[in-house]
Structure 1
């Protein structure tokens, strides 16, 4: 930053973070595009040969833990490693995970998933925090614009990854695809180290206590805790690899969803009873709880992109054009394309409506998110009717579905994220953001579990099952959207002076 160099008028360090995040998302979305397809592919084609229920459960657990581990990952950065080291260490662990996945072995496959989850939990929350750290406190407007540029980095990686990783994985060798995703992460690490000096002093140190002795005690206790957790993980993995213990992914996934749901309810009960909230704070925290329910419902549908909709693309969509067979994973690039295309449009729309005092209130936007999600799956009901008639629908059906899903996410995700930060009592902001990410984690898990219902054998016998499965999601989204619309004004009152 001291060199005077800039990145589109922003601190040069933004470019360092932009490209690191771009390659990390290249890694993540490459995995997202291939993972379930690889697990349910027959062993004769190089896949793992899992049934749909098992594959869906493992996929749901993987994506769930990616979001859940962002909470301890952020805490470790704040208290022990600092942001800078956390980003680098996380990227290294992700790269090691991909090296494991590149090896054709069931044992290294699960070890690779574990490493990627741990690394992503350490990198993902902290690189976003670093974006805010590189701006002076008096440059809030430029800081917001910087996050918008950073957001484009996320979607750039997500856009190109399924095309490259998907082609290598589906058409040449599954493990080549996983290796390519890992090479992307290594590119990100190299440029991060090469340009790290542009970050100045931002994120070099964790938050320290005023008392040096207390600080040392905290560091020692965290260090001991990390050693204990690391040893426990090594023992656990060793027991799994030697088949001393076995885990049923379907049972474990279902139990995880139940445990997390109960934990969230208990947490909110605790907040209401013991955090000494005043009347206004109680209303706002209850509004956050409602947002949690809405967000979980939305992402249970949205994350079908990497699971049930990915299976539909692979098994039932017409992907042959002349002599070329399009990889099913290529369609995973559509949501990011639409994000890049339509975020400026929606930003302009909300701004224009606000000037005319017509900007929808927050609950209306949340309801629109659910309704757009339902509309997307309604398109899939139409595509399923084509399958029922014995034909294959064109990819345009899925592309349209992803477009509506993107509209829904644009309405819901930034509004929900901003709403939680504004509604939370200041002393609970970090915890409430953790709850928001738990909603995303649960949505991912439910999407993976529901993908298990798309059993190819059962659908081959009765193609109308596709219509029933997608139709169920349509009903859930439309009913949930209607409920939020009906109670929009009461929910708005709970939010008090928060716009």
Structure 2
């Protein structure tokens, strides 16, 4: 499974045996299962993370204050998606997408195993491993899905990404039910250990199924020459040394707090996407048509950042609302708080096939990508309007019915399916040839940007950011952005060229 350094004309696609995966290329099954197990491990850990950090030491947790735990969660989640950019770079310049995914899956598995040790120092090291590994995997596995199809306008392409998105949500649904239950009811570290087992299974099946992937997935599109390789190594070493010296000085001065991590990462999450867009547009190897498409893509990036700013609070502010203010009894059935994290992926599995079928049935009447993004922003805004009402209902101290969060997640799921899988697809369509995997990394930086904006809001406003008014303001901003994006569609669509 070695990665080649250039496109080999002698490479042939896997032999066609007439077998498909829900009408799509057979390699989609391999990528579906890999992503399913990676999401199983990630979402299982995420369902437990804030709850474990805030649980009393006597209960096996770390006893952190809620605000500190949410800050740590925000930093961690932003870092996961921040690492998608170097992950895309490694796929484009060093290993190729297929080899990068193999390495990243192994790193993620080790990270979850470190969480399961019960040693605090190793726990935080494990978060670093998972963050790095997830970043490497994300950009490259989505790129390989695009490789399975014949060009950006293959009519099966959007449907293929929606099927792939189902794999994400099968894993995300099962993880809190099993890992969440094991962590909350048996042992926190048993839950983290099950996440490591899940990623191990994902790695094994990926190695077995790689023969069904497109030959292009083994290719390094723009391999590093000796000069670029030495420059990359030098810059990495310099950055590591400068960072180590800076934080050593902060610790020795006895002024270190979580803010010294949160603020730099929050700023970096906003600066880096800007830097990458400027660099790509100025690259002389990018054609005029590709440069024009990049200009159009910026609109989608900003819209996605606003969307994820709200959506990604499910693991932090909504998770804590579930723990503190929501009943865990539904129709007489008592369940762990972490099970709320399975509601969104359950809705995805119910609704995604219906939407995928609808997009196919509409054919030429299929809404443009800009229109779908507008629907996503408006929908996520409405969900926080409902969340505002839920918080108001809990203001007396009584725990509210689980139906509030179930409704919020329903609205967010419909919005997500209008934006997220379509965003993955449009990224592969608009990416310049030189930056195929790296632009997918930029797409994931939209999540980082959204998380970082919310982190900055929290740093400035404190608990007011997650009050009734805070949820209302965020919801209004998202809805207004959706209407504005829809109004601007006639300006955006011509920038996309032949991509619809």
Superposition TM-score tier, normalisation by shorter sequence: 0.7 to 0.9
Please point out which of 398, 408, 411 is paired with 2:405.
398
Equivalent residue, structure 2, for 1:39: 53
Shift of residue 264, structure 1, vs aligned partner: 3.5
Q: Answer yes or no: is 1:106 the counterpart of 2:120.
A: yes
Deviation at 1:310, TM superposition (A): 0.8
Distance 1:495 1:18, change over 3 A: closer
- Which moves more between the two structures, 228-237 or 304-313? 228-237
| Cα deviations by residue, 1:9-33 (Å, 9 ceiling, x for unpaired) | 6665443333222111101111221
**Any idea what the Cα deviations from partners look like across 1:385-414, whole Å, max 9, x if unmatched?**
221133221111111111111111122223
Q: Which stretches in structure 1 are left out of the alignment for 5+ residues? A: none
1:198-220 per-position Cα deviation (integer Å, ceiling 9, x unaligned): 559664564576xxxx85x3696
Q: Partners in 1 of 2:31 and 2:424 — Cα distance? A: 21
CA deviations on 1:284-308 (whole Å, 9 max, x unpaired) are 5443223222111110001011111
- Where does 1:285-304 land on structure 2 (aligned, <5 Å)? 285-304=294-313
Residues 166 and 137 of structure 1: CA distance in aligned 2, closer, same or farther (over 3 Å) = same
State how far apart, in whole Å, the 2-side matches of 1:285 and 1:246 are.
42
Judge conservation of contact 2:301–2:446 (CA < 8 Å) in 1: yes
Aligned residue number for residue 260 of structure 1: 269
Unpaired segments ≥5 residues, structure 2? 1-13
Tell me how far 1:331 sits from its aligned partner.
1.3
SS at match of 1:15: helix
**2:3 counterpart residue number:** none
Return closer, same or farther for 1:34/1:450 CA change in 2, 3 Å cut-off: farther
Q: What's the secondary structure of 2:372's corresponding residue? A: helix
| Residue 77 (structure 1) aligned with residue 79 (structure 2) | no
**Aligned counterpart, 1:176:** 190
**Structural RMSD (CA):** 4.1
> Structure 1 residues 5, 447: CA separation in 2 closer, same or farther (over 3 Å shift)?
farther
Rounded to whole Å, the distance in 1 between the matches of 2:495 and 2:25 is: 39
Question: In the superposition, relative to structure 1, how do residues 437 and 190 fare at CA in structure 2: closer, same or farther (>3 Å)?
Answer: closer
CA distance in structure 1 between the partners assigned to 2:496 and 2:212 by the alignment: 40
Could you tell me how far apart the structure 1 residues matched to 2:163 and 2:230 are? 38
**Is the CA contact (8 Å cut-off) linking 1:91 and 1:119 kept in structure 2?**
yes
SS at match of 2:400: coil
**In 1, are the aligned partners of 2:34 and 2:202 still within 8 Å (CA)?**
yes
- Structure 1 residues 133 and 243, CA gap change in structure 2 (3 angstroms): farther
- 1:90 positional shift: 1.3
Are 1:370 and 2:377 matched, yes or no? yes
Report the Cα distance in structure 2 between the residues aligned to 1:134 and 1:415, rounded to whole angstroms.
16
TM-superposition CA deviations, 1:443-488 (whole Å, max 9, x none): 2334566678998xx79xxxx9732232222222223233334444
The 1:197/1:229 distance shift into structure 2, 3 A limit, reads farther
Query: Residue 267 and residue 465 in structure 1: after superposition, are their counterparts in 2 closer, same or farther (change >3 A)?
Result: closer
Partner Cα distance (1:417, 1:136) in 2: 16
Corresponding residue number in structure 2 for 1:381: 388
How far off is 1:167 after superposition? 0.7
Number of corresponding residues: 485
* Residue equivalent to 1:483: 484
Instruction: Give the corresponding residue for 1:316.
Output: 325
Question: What's the secondary structure of 2:63's corresponding residue?
Answer: coil
Cα deviation code 1:14-60 (max 9, x no counterpart): 43333222111101111221112222222232222222332222211
Matched, 1:23 2:37: yes
In the alignment, structure 1 residue 412 sits paired with structure 2 residue 413 = no
Distance 1:480 1:17, change over 3 A: closer
Secondary structure of 1:388's counterpart equals: coil
SS at match of 2:263: helix
The residue number in structure 1 matching 2:10 is: none
- The aligned runs of 1:16-415 (5 Å cut-off) are 16-133=30-147, 140=154, 146-196=160-210, 203-204=217-218, 206-207=220-221, 217=226, 221=230, 228=237, 247-268=256-277, 284-320=293-329, 325-353=334-362, 355=364, 357=365, 359-415=366-422
- Deviations 1:152-208 (Å, cap 9, x if unpaired)? 222211110111111111222222211111111112223334455555966456457
TM-score (ref. length: structure 2) = 0.82
Distance 1:320 1:205 in 2: 52
Instruction: Report the CA distance shift for 1:475/1:415 in structure 2 as closer, same or farther (over 3 A).
Output: same
Q: TM-score, normalised by structure 1?
A: 0.82
